[in-house]
């Protein structure tokens, strides 16, 4: 499948304030794809969750450790990849936050957020000696003009 | 992220604006509720009218605030949910936990019943 521009890669220190930075970059790309405010909001929120998990759980809040984020368009899918330097985890072991006994738990909704807001969420572990890699995918309606413009730029 | 406190009779209203997100907004909610409770508040209304974003940490803080207030014998209710916040409470099914009002006066009056 051809990978089209726009594309971005950034690496940030594990600080919560850098979530804003990552979201701003992602949002800028989504604006260029002419996505509406609603779609950008939900994709941005899913990305925030992925980066927050990478900072908090993956890198244990250690600012010396980095979170990498890659954004690209594959066909009609926005694909956001977030990597940390952590030890990985078992996504299937994460409790279902919708179960009545979990409803009043303060935590444990991050992955659920991502799965609810995106079409697909994949986890890869140990790639390139890095920790957890989460890949978020969401189909979008790619505006013809935007795609043509990006192809021209490329 | 900004929170201000005001009174409507015995009911404490916290006006929340901005992002309720990890690292800043979530802690601010916790602190504001603690300050209100420390000042003698029992029943609290969170006015979320000007909240633009709520992430999972923010939702977690709403839940914590709810349980903290409930354990102290009071009630915490929500008013003026923006559509995006309402969507999140629907998705997380927390809409079944919180008492939500569209109108502030109705929320305040509900404590009298």
* Domain harbouring A35, CATH code: 3.30.565.10
User: pLDDT grade, residue A147 (50/70/90)?
Assistant: low
User: Which tens digits make up the pLDDT trace of A79-105?
Assistant: 999 999 998 888 889 999 999 999 999
- Considering only residues 82 to 111 of chain A, which have any Cβ-Cβ distance to chain B shorter than 8 Å? 97-98, 103-107, 109-110
- Answer yes or no: is pLDDT of A53 > 70: yes
- Give A-chain residues touching B92 at CB under 8 angstroms: 97-98, 109, 112
**Of A145 and A42, which is predicted with more confidence?**
A42
**B24 CB near a chain A CB, below 8 Å?**
yes
Burial bucket for residue B103 (CB in 10 Å: 0-12, 13-18, 19+): exposed
DSSP states along B37-76: HHTT--EEEEEEEEEEEE-HHHHHHHHHHHHHHHHTT--E
Number of domains composing chain A: 1
- Answer yes or no: is pLDDT of A145 > 60: no
**A112 CB near a chain B CB, below 8 Å?**
yes
| Domain coverage including residue A66 | 3-153
As a whole number, mean pLDDT of residues A26-43 equals: 94
- Answer yes or no: is pLDDT of A40 > 80: yes
**pTM (2 d.p.):** 0.91
Omega into A16 within 30° of 0, i.e. cis? no
Backbone phi, psi, residue A7, to 5°: -145, 145
* Residue A90: per-residue pLDDT: 87
| Closest chain B residue by Cα to residue A115 | B91
Of A45, A106, A116, the CB nearest to B63: A106
* Residue B41: per-residue pLDDT: 97
- Give B-chain residues touching A48 at CB under 8 angstroms: 21-22, 55
Q: Does domain B2-110 match CATH 3.30.750.24? A: yes
Of A16, A49, A98, the CB nearest to B56: A49
Round to whole Å and give the CA distance between A92 and A74.
Answer: 27
* Residue A126: per-residue pLDDT: 76
As a whole number, mean pLDDT of residues B86-101 equals: 97
Rounded to a whole number of angstroms, the distance from the CA of A77 to the nearest CA of chain B is: 23
**B97 CB near a chain A CB, below 8 Å?**
yes
Domain ranges of chain B: 2-110
B76's CB contacts (< 8 A; 6+ apart) are: B33, B43, B44, B45, B46, B65, B66, B69, B70, B98
| Closest chain A residue by Cα to residue B30 | A106
**A54 CB near a chain B CB, below 8 Å?**
no
* Residue A5: per-residue pLDDT: 61
Rounded to a whole number of angstroms, the distance from the CA of B41 to the nearest CA of chain A is: 22
Q: Are A137 and A75 in contact (CB under 8 A)?
A: no
* Residue B26: per-residue pLDDT: 81
Q: Are strands A3-13 and A66-74 parallel, antiparallel or unpaired?
A: antiparallel
* Residue A30: per-residue pLDDT: 94
């Amino acid at each position: 499948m051809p990978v089209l521009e726009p594309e971005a890669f950034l690496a940030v220190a594990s600080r919560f304030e850098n979530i804003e930075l990552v979201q701003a970059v992602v949002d800028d790309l989504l604006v260029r794809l002419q996505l509406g405010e609603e779609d950008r909001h939900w994709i941005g929120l899913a990305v925030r969750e992925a980066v927050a998990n990478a900072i908090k759980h993956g890198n244990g809040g250690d600012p010396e450790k980095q979170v990498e984020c890659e954004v690209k368009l594959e066909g009609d899918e926005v694909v956001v990849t977030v990597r940390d330097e952590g030890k990985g985890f078992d996504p299937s072991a994460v409790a279902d936050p919708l179960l009545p006994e979990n409803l009043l738990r303060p935590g444990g909704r991050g992955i659920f957020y991502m799965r609810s807001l995106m079409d697909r969420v994949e986890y890869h572990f140990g790639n390139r000696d890095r920790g957890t890699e989460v890949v978020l995918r969401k189909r979008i309606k790619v505006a013809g003009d935007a795609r043509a413009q990006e192809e021209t730029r490329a | 992220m900004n929170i201000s406190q005001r009174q409507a009779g015995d009911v404490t209203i916290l006006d929340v604006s901005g992002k309720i997100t990890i690292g800043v907004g979530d802690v601010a909610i916790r602190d504001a509720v603690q300050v209100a409770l420390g000042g003698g508040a029992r029943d609290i209304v969170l006015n979320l009218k000007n909240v633009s974003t709520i992430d999972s940490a923010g939702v977690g803080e709403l839940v914590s605030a709810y349980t903290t207030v409930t354990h102290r014998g009071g009630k915490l209710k929500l008013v003026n949910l923006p559509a995006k916040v309402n969507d999140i409470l629907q998705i997380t099914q927390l809409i079944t936990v919180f008492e939500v009002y569209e109108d502030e006066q109705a929320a305040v009056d509900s404590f009298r019943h």
